[in-house]
Amino acid sequence: MNTALRVVRWLIIALAVLVSLFPFYWVLRTSLAPADQVFFNGISLFPDRIDLGNFARAWTQGGLGQAVLVGALVTGRILVLQLITCIPAAYVLAKVRLRWTGVVLALVLGCVLVPSQVTLVPTFIGINAAGLADTMAGLIVPFLTSAFGIFLLRQQMTAIPEALLEATRVDGLGHVRTLTRVVVPMAAPGIAAFSVFSVFTHWNEYLWPLLVARTPSLRTPPLALAVFQQADAGFDYSALAAGAVIVTAPVVLLFLFAQRQFVQGMSGAEVPG
Amino acid sequence: MTATAQQAVNRDDAATHAASPSFLDRHPGFVPALLIAPAAVGIVLFVVVPTILSAVGSLFSIPLAGGAWRFVGFANFQRILTDPMVLQAMGNTIVYSLMTIVPSLVIGLGLALLADRAGRAKPLVRTALFLPMTANLVAMAVVFRWMFAYQGGFVNELLGWFGIGAVNWLGDPHTSLLTVALVGVWRTSSLTMMIFFAGLATVPVSIDEATRAEGIRGLTKLVKVTLPIMRPTVVFACVIAVLTSVQVFDTINVMTQGGPLGSSETLLTMVWKLGFSYYDLGAASALSLLLLLALLGLGILQRRVLAGGNR
């Protein structure tokens, strides 16, 4: 009875792992296969030889090379801006008690709940009017701060013992030095988790670049891939698969190397072990 | 610079240094306000103002190229609520959500419970099961499109081995929404599993021991003990599942573009179509506002239902 249950449990786990991983395996396999071995009929689960030319075609013809550069620049700049804006704001909302901090905190929490598509149309009109449509700045500026980031970092900073901050105040350190010398080091795990979340979100962002980036040289990786699929690639599935691998790999690697921060950033909770 | 001038400068420096602490003492909120200002500007400019404009804009006719907005009252709402395409998109969103939310929650919870007891294989199983959540949706949509291809697609080949005829998954209006929903479940289950997994870790070991001593096991334990203890986790997982399902865009945009015949059009792809294919920004604002109201309504409903057990 117990053994039977255990077998069933492991069968379910094995099936779930298979279903989870199969699409990743499939895209990797297709990206390495010669173009004539793409479809399933008449071919095995493994290609009989490996063709790296698919990646070259995706990189140049598919525009993924340029897109990866744009993606890295956009994602990196958004991350820096969000850290600069969110960390001080989170500190003030967590550790400074003034008449207005309660109201501002409520406002930030409210903004976490507003879905991005509600702001989509007016933000686009505004970015257009400011002459930022089809520019790198237009891809970055709307994300210069993150209500979710402020919320997440504030949670982390609230946990810093008040006594520690009292000590720095006795030493005569102002807010800025308290922030840089005590709060930032103490909140480092939360900052790391938010950074991973931010990179993940903005590397994968599709809807906003689809709206703003008209010039091919401004396409972000997901957008370049979508365009490649819709028009340029035709039936070059292996190059398209190589493109999909190029777009996916950085985030998957980020996840594999920073799983703990990733989970904390996505679920707002820590996972032990 | 002469000596006297240098002295004067020094005196000025001293004066400002003496004055600045007293200024800050008189205004203790000055530095905090400066610290919060950049974030506040960003939030006001890109969340608060657009949300208000979206609400106001839904009452106007808005030219895309810029220029004066024309007040049209509730005409935008009237237009979208009588447009069969928009109504179809609303219906599709509800069907899609029904097909994804509950399965994702159940599968996510089930896998989290199973993986939690996987012993030494736990980290490996966890990593494998979290992976769908990390995938780029556009890339995965591209892959799933081939896997569900009518001719030569992996899924149809697999069905063929079992003697089942090929299904035109994405090309048939009857199955297109279901197919996109399958991808939704594949991904959202991974996300809810991650959330449940984190929640399970917060359940104290003593609870396990106590329930074992009492002989409470299996489903009874889950429903009466484990789920109530991790209620915040359950609420969070529900909220995330609802939000990701109602706001589906990337997969549909890549896999079907809302077709065939609007059979996989959802609210967000419709907002997009109204706003940026038909250039009817007022109608797009009205529809996104309805979506926000629906989400707010759902939020209240969800809170009531989940609170119901305890109050």
| DSSP assignments along A182-209, one per residue | IIHHHTHHHHHHHHHHHHHHHHH--HHH
Cβ atoms of residues A262 and A255 within 8 Å = yes
Distance between CA B115 and CA A232 in Å, rounded? 42
Q: If you count them, how many residues does chain B have?
A: 311
Pick the most confident of A71-75, A212-216, B21-25, B253-257.
Answer: A71-75
pLDDT at B262: 84
pLDDT at A41: 47
pLDDT at B160 over 80: yes
For B263-295, give the DSSP string: TT--HHHHHHIIIIIS--HHHHHHHHHHHHHHH
Amino acid B134 reads: T
Distance between CA B132 and CA B117 in Å, rounded? 21
The average pLDDT across B249-268 equals 86
Question: Could you say which of A13, A39, A92 has the minimum Cβ distance to residue B36?
Answer: A92
The average pLDDT across A83-108 equals 90
Q: Which residue has the higher pLDDT, B182 or A170?
A: B182
Question: Could you say which of A86, A142, A229 has the minimum Cβ distance to residue B39?
Answer: A86
**Is the CB of B132 inside 8 Å of chain A's CB atoms?**
yes
Closest CA in chain A for residue B158: A40
Over residues B85-97, the pLDDT tens digits come to: 999 999 999 999 9
Residue listed under structure tokens 């008189």: B26
User: Chain A closest CA to B129's CA: distance in Å?
Assistant: 6
Over residues A27-45, the pLDDT tens digits come to: 888 888 776 665 554 445 6
The SS3 call for residue B131 is: helix
pLDDT at A232: 54
Q: Which of A112-121, B43-52, B136-145 has the lowest mean pLDDT?
A: A112-121
Distance between CA B274 and CA B284 in Å, rounded? 5
Strand partners, B61: B70
The ipTM (two decimal places) reads: 0.84
Distance between CA A179 and CA A199 in Å, rounded? 23
User: Chain A closest CA to B310's CA: distance in Å?
Assistant: 24
Paired tokens of B188? 């959202």
**Is the CB of A18 inside 8 Å of chain B's CB atoms?**
no
Instruction: Enumerate residues 231 to 270 of chain A having a beta carbon within 8 A of any beta carbon in chain B.
Output: 237, 240-241, 243-245, 247-248, 251-252, 254-256, 259, 262-263, 266-270
Distance between CA A149 and CA A50 in Å, rounded? 43
pLDDT at B234 over 90: no
Query: What's chain A's average pLDDT?
Result: 85
CB contact under 8 A, A272 and B152: no
Amino acid A102 reads: G
Per-residue exposure over A145-155, b if at least 16 CB sit within 10 Å of its own CB, e if not = bbbbbbbbbbe
pLDDT at B46: 92
pLDDT at B118: 78
Distance between CA A149 and CA A147 in Å, rounded? 5
Beta-strand ranges (E) seen in A84-133 are none
Cβ burial, residue B172 (10 Å; 0-12/13-18/19+): middle
pLDDT at B303: 66
B28 CB neighbours in chain A (<8 A) are: 98
Evaluated on CA atoms B150, B153, B157, B159, the torsion sign reads negative
Return contacts of B293-300, CB within 8 angstroms, 24+ apart.
Answer: B294/B246, B295/A115, B295/B242, B295/B243, B295/B246, B298/B242, B298/B246, B299/A113, B299/B239
